[in-house]
Amino acid sequence: MPGLARNARDFEGLAPVMAAKRRVIVAEFRGRGESAYAKDPMTYVPLTYVQDIVALLDEMKIKRFATVGTSLGGLVSMLLAATQPGRIVGAVLNDVGPELEAAGLERIRDYIGAGGSQPTWIHAARAYADLNAAVYPGYDIHDWLRITKRTHRLTQEGRIVTDYDKQIAAPLRVPNGGDAGVDLWPAYRALGDVPVLVLRGALSDILSGAAGKKMAKALPNARLVEIPGVGHAPTMDEAKARTAIGAWIAELPAA
């Protein structure tokens, strides 16, 4: 499950690797990628996404599952653990947890739903690099093109735009929007003794190092792995992330 402004293409590198050993389903939340836009923008909140994911799993007759969630996807994972007891057998929480940094959240609020269109992919990549230079300081133009093509789309008019409904920002503009202020520690602890991998970008302004360590100590089978040189969030294409995810998969139940 991807982050707030992301889609299934975030997993174009990781999903095939995981699919060699497990059945993999990559979900796009409403309002992103190929999923329909919501008629009511105030449904763009985590609890609605949880309901959507549960409906998907039930339709596919999947009773037990492990989750890999980046940012928003990780929040949904924790809420699934709290509301669907016994169904989650493991979780990767990518740069997210029950304690989030206010400065990073404010940065996200500032850019979600903003911005226009670009005439070419190179223009879009350079604009995206300007916005996220501190997140991926080691990227060159080829890296920026790759991540821009994951996060943007080409319109019928030939312009490059972000691949999500700009109204996903609507709940963030109201007081306590997007379930802000909710204590998520009970939801995190609901993961119990299943294998939990907490990935943290070493430069993250969303998940602090202290919060990551606290998460690792709070559950018996939780492990914290920091990915050097990236902020919020690791793409999970990084070698250290892949190694950690491979070890996590090996800890999951055989079936």
Q: How many CB atoms lie within 10 A of CB 204?
A: 25
Q: Is 37 within a domain? A: yes
Q: Is 206 within a domain? A: yes
pLDDT score recorded for residue 176: 57
Q: Is 215 within a domain? A: yes
Q: Is 242 within a domain? A: yes
pLDDT score recorded for residue 20: 93
Q: What percent of the chain has pLDDT over 90?
A: 91
Q: Is 153 within a domain? A: no
Residue 115 predicted with pLDDT over 80:
no
Average pLDDT score, the chain: 95
User: What span, in angstroms and rounded, lies between the C-alpha atoms of 66 and 57?
Assistant: 12
Q: Is 145 within a domain? A: no
Residue 18, domain extent: 8-114+170-251
pLDDT tens per residue across span 174-214: 765 544 568 999 999 999 999 999 999 999 999 999 999 99
Stretch 2-22: mean pLDDT, rounded? Answer: 96
Q: Is 160 within a domain? A: no
Stretch 150-168: mean pLDDT, rounded? Answer: 96
Q: Is 129 within a domain? A: no
pLDDT score recorded for residue 136: 98
* CATH number of the domain bearing residue 39: 3.40.50.1820
Count of domains observed in the chain: 1
pLDDT tens per residue across span 61-111: 999 999 999 999 999 999 999 999 999 999 999 999 999 999 999 999 888
- At 19, list the tokens: 């699919």
pLDDT score recorded for residue 77: 98
Residue 23 predicted with pLDDT over 80:
yes
pLDDT tens per residue across span 219-230: 999 999 999 999
Q: What are the DSSP calls for 122-177, one per residue?
A: HHHHHHHHHHHTTTSTT--HHHHHHHHHHHEEE-TTS-EEESB-GGGGGGGGSTTG
